[in-house]
A and B are shown apart, each in its own frame.
Chain A
Amino acid sequence: MSAVPGIVAVNTFREAVRDRVLYNLIVFALMMIGASVLVGEISIGISRLVIINLGLSAISIFGLVMAVFIGVGLVYKEMEKRTLYCLLAKPVRRWEFLIGKFGGLVLTLTVNTFFMALGLGAALYYVSREFLRSDAMIVIAIYFIVLELALVTALALFFSCFSSPMLSTLYTLGIYVAGFFSGDIREIGMVTHSPAMQTAARAISYLLPNFRNFNVIAAASHGDAIPFSLIWQNTAYAALYVALALIGASAIFSGRNLK
């Protein structure tokens, strides 16, 4: 495997960092701690639960917004500003470039999530002055959020290989929402009496990225155990889907005439 994707990834990460995106995190972390102080004061007893729910949801939403909005621009910006011209004249294959871009954003999002998780940890410690054994589930929940963000990034990258950032954003968010309801799509299919519709609904529901898989926020806030097998299954699921999106993106992007 060549070193090219790694080099591109580091540069992408550097771009994101210099874009001051990461500095919003400090603001976020502070806000989290501030909010939790407030919550801790009004709701004795469930303050931990509220902080975990609030914190994990915020990390997930914040990361999602970043993944989509930076993700759809990753390739587009380099095409639009023609910075790709110089890069592609170097010994760089287009798929290596794509993987590098993907890796760079996932790296950014991971660092991002890490800092936000620290904020959450601080808030949690502030209200309860202790960490519980079951708080390990929060770490797993955060890991799942990172997996989810990687998947969203890959989808955003895929769409941006053949459509404008506006449309790519719409497509990505559309798939995200549809992916969240993929279970419901199957059940709606069951309600119809046409076997063809049922099969179609089943197929669609299994092929859409199922974002519910990654959502264990409720379990984490209650400190419920998450089975180990779910960890590797979700990891494999995200890896397969990311591979799928990146292969699709490469197939399209490799043949594209850049403007």
Chain B
Amino acid sequence: MSTPAIEIEGLTKDYPVGFWRQRMHRSLDHLTLQVQDGEVFGFLGPNGAGKTTTLKVLMSIIFPTSGSARVRGKSIDDVSMHREIGYLPEQPYFYDYLTARELLDYYARLFGFAASERRERIIRFLERVGLGGAADVQLRKFSKGMLQRVGIAQAILHDPQVIFLDEPMSGLDPVGRREVRDIIHDLKREGRTIFFSTHILSDAEMLCDRVGVLVGGKLQGVGAPREIVSMEVYAMEILFETPEGHPLPNSLAKSATQVGGRYRAEVPEDQLYPVLDELRRCEARILSVTPLRPTLEDYFFKLVARDKSAPPQLVEVGAR
């Protein structure tokens, strides 16, 4: 394979904290990561993990304490790198006094597009994010979801090869999330590399070729969603109803929980058939039987729990 689309090497960021900025808080700790060309990479982590920090460093909005990064072989210090990337900040905000069309025109000018090309692109991309009708509305009148869409439009307006999206689904309703997922799918089909951060696992599971999990500034693991989570079934979930007055079978009396007139029980895989037999004996109606796999979610919470038990990281002054 050629050069990776994104190479991050030992990226570390310390923020000064405290009234006198005397201590350093390490928000990102020696992050090393590669994203291949054409990949959709999910950057996962709970709030405060350091996802936004990583993206801000990559965009030179802030500067790393140490480490380096390259995008398509170009150092992030190199301004020409920015011609090839798009970036959607977290909770994007734009100039109140501009309309969506004027905003995109401003950004398109920065890439040197001619007037006719700008006009055409702006319409095309506004429609792509579902804002075709709001082109001439001032941005101050936009809802959060609409701003998010404008943000996506400006990130892809110039057909960048690598696209960085910080929580692209946040602030959107279910329909909106779905539309953004479709856009990401389309971009992937066009062969672009997408690096997006999220704390919502289902989004990542549905979209990503690979994910990286960041907790407390440290990368906990990288791989295909399936590699991160073992596919092994650890339990079977049974949903059932019992006829009026019938008691629960003994084996389920303790473990089953009642949910709106129905019962739900988790049983180990090897106990499934004996339990089903018992249920048949007491004339229960089986509603569903589902194998339970650990999800990304579980993995995630395990990591967070582990991190919480560790003391917060504070590097003393001079550690810069």
Direct A–B contact in the complex, CB atoms closer than 8 angstroms: yes
**Which range contains the number of A residues in contact with the other chain?**
20 to 34
A11 at the interface (CB under 8 A from B): yes
CB neighbours (8 Å) of B110 from chain A are 4, 7, 87, 90-92
Residues of A within 8 A of B (CB): 3-4, 7, 11, 14-15, 18-19, 81-93, 255, 257-258
CA distance A255 to B62 in the complex (A): 8
- Are B79 and A7 closer than 8 Å at their CB atoms? no
- Are A88 and B151 closer than 8 Å at their CB atoms? no
Picked from B80, B87, B97, the residue with its CB within 8 Å of the CB of A85 is B87
Picked from A4, A18, A85, the residue with its CB within 8 Å of the CB of B92 is A85
- For chain B, residues 77 to 111, give those with C-beta under 8 angstroms from any C-beta of chain A: 79-80, 82-83, 85-87, 89, 91-95, 97-98, 102, 106-107, 109-111
CB neighbours (8 Å) of A93 from chain B are 79
B61 at the interface (CB under 8 A from A): yes
Cross-chain pair count, CB within 8 angstroms:
72
Given contacts A4-B110, A7-B106, contact A90 B82 (CB under 8 A): yes
Top-5 shortest CB links A-B: A89-B87, A18-B97, A257-B62, A85-B89, A91-B82
CA distance A220 to B312 in the complex (A): 68
CA distance A4 to B79 in the complex (A): 12
CB neighbours (8 Å) of B97 from chain A are 14-15, 18-19
Question: In the complex, what residue of chain B is closest to A82 when comparing beta carbons?
Answer: B93
Question: In the complex, what residue of chain A is closest to B86 when comparing beta carbons?
Answer: A89
What are 22 A-B interface contacts by the 8 Å CB criterion? A3-B109, A7-B106, A7-B109, A7-B110, A15-B97, A83-B93, A83-B94, A85-B61, A86-B87, A86-B151, A87-B110, A88-B61, A89-B82, A89-B89, A90-B107, A90-B110, A91-B79, A91-B80, A92-B110, A255-B63, A257-B61, A257-B63
12 more CB-based (< 8 A) A-B contacts, given A86-B151, A89-B85, A91-B110: A3-B109, A82-B91, A85-B56, A85-B87, A85-B92, A86-B87, A89-B89, A90-B82, A90-B110, A90-B111, A91-B83, A258-B56
- For chain B, residues 34 to 88, give those with C-beta under 8 angstroms from any C-beta of chain A: 56, 59-63, 79-80, 82-83, 85-87
Question: In the complex, what residue of chain B is closest to A19 when comparing beta carbons?
Answer: B97
Given contacts A7-B110, A86-B151, A93-B79, contact A81 B98 (CB under 8 A): no
Given contacts A85-B92, A255-B63, contact A92 B79 (CB under 8 A): yes
Picked from A19, A92, A258, the residue with its CB within 8 Å of the CB of B62 is A258
Shortest A80–chain B CB gap in Å is 10
B161 at the interface (CB under 8 A from A): no
Bitwise interface map of B from 194 to 215 toward A, beta carbon under 8 Å scored 1, else 0: 0000000000000000000000
CB neighbours (8 Å) of A11 from chain B are 95, 98, 106
- Are A86 and B154 closer than 8 Å at their CB atoms? yes
CB neighbours (8 Å) of A7 from chain B are 106, 109-110
Bitwise interface map of B from 170 to 214 toward A, beta carbon under 8 Å scored 1, else 0: 000000000000000000000000000000000000000000000
CB neighbours (8 Å) of A3 from chain B are 109, 112
CA distance A81 to B96 in the complex (A): 10
CB neighbours (8 Å) of B56 from chain A are 85, 258
CA distance A89 to B162 in the complex (A): 12
- Are A92 and B82 closer than 8 Å at their CB atoms? yes
Shortest B56–chain A CB gap in Å is 8
Question: In the complex, what residue of chain A is closest to B98 when comparing beta carbons?
Answer: A14
Question: In the complex, what residue of chain A is closest to B110 when comparing beta carbons?
Answer: A90
CA distance A11 to B95 in the complex (A): 10
CB neighbours (8 Å) of B61 from chain A are 84-85, 88-89, 257-258
Picked from B62, B94, B109, B112, the residue with its CB within 8 Å of the CB of A86 is B94
Given contacts A92-B110, A255-B63, A258-B61, contact A86 B92 (CB under 8 A): yes
CB neighbours (8 Å) of B94 from chain A are 83, 86
CA distance A91 to B97 in the complex (A): 23
Residue in A19, A85, A86 with the greatest tally of chain B CB atoms within 10 Å: A86
- Are B89 and A82 closer than 8 Å at their CB atoms? yes
- Are B95 and A83 closer than 8 Å at their CB atoms? yes
Shortest B299–chain A CB gap in Å is 31
Question: In the complex, what residue of chain B is closest to A79 when comparing beta carbons?
Answer: B61
